[in-house]
Amino acid sequence: MSHHHHEPESVLSLRVRALESLLVEKKLVASEAVDRIVSAYEEDIGPHNGAKVVARAWVDPAYKQRLLADGTEAIEELGFGGVDLRVVENTPGVHNLVVCTLCSCYPHALIGLPPTWYKSFEYRSRAVREPRVVLREFGVELPESTEIRIWDSSAELRYLVLPERPAGTENLREAELAELVTRDAMIGVAVVQPPTPAAR
């Protein structure tokens, strides 16, 4: 708790209970909906931490080097942690794909909760057996010459894909770049799209 002087907690707590009771009475909110929303947001982190890491690596070659050498330490520089991480880089000749064949190990601290398909038996088995087909189903068409590397996440070590920076983004600032980076791109089932002309 804050050591600053402010209204005692109990006053605010009473006020919010009164507010909720009035809004429920007027049928403007349902308490169950509030419960659901709070727990959904408490569990959600979203991909923005991971996106920040990727964008930093794109604009700062020295950071990228550190990130690829030791992901765990490099994300701590940006204030993220709690996970042993290895970052794998997509290049024109190599595409990386992350899976957890055993369960659903996933770098939560960076990209939030795993999507349902990531936990499915189908993805867990097919990503290893026929990655090219799986990627095509996600809309990623790779040249035959591109090597696909599969990384099997575990409780001890999580993987994050460093996607390729899209062409035409030379003038974007780091924060703008981060907005382009999606969760799927950091799992490896998507590539980062350049910004649409209208959004620039």
Partner 1 sequence: MDAVPSREIADMPGQAALPRKNGELVFDEAWQGRTFGMTVAMSHDASFKWSEFQARLIDEIARAERAGESSSYYERWLRAFERLLADKGLLDAAALAARTKDFATGRRDDVF
Q: Which is nearer to partner 1, 77 or 130 (CB)?
A: 77
CA distance 54 to 188: 13
Q: Return the half-sphere exposure (C-beta side, CA atoms, 13 A cut-off) of residue 22.
A: 6
What lies within 8 Å, CB to CB, of 4 at 6+ separation is none
- Which residues inside 46-65 make contact with partner 1, applying CB under 8 A? 46, 48-49
* Position 5 contacts partner 1 (CB under 8 A): yes
Residue 78 CB neighbours (<10 A): 14
Nearest approach, Cβ of 78 to partner 1 (angstroms)? Answer: 11
Q: Which is nearer to partner 1, 28 or 167 (CB)?
A: 28
CA distance 119 to 102: 9
- Which residues inside 87-146 make contact with partner 1, applying CB under 8 A? 108-110, 112
Q: Return the half-sphere exposure (C-beta side, CA atoms, 13 A cut-off) of residue 41.
A: 5
Active site residue 125: no
* Position 68 contacts partner 1 (CB under 8 A): no
Say which of 31, 103, 120, 125 is annotated catalytic.
Answer: 103
Stretch that binds partner 1, among 3-11, 57-65, 158-166, 186-194 (CB under 8 A): 3-11
Active site residue 39: no
* Position 173 contacts partner 1 (CB under 8 A): no
Active site residue 104: yes
Active site residue 153: no
Write b or e for each residue in 41-53: b if 16 or more Cβ atoms lie within 10 A of its Cβ, otherwise e: eeeeeebebbbbb
Active site (catalytic) residues? 100, 103-105
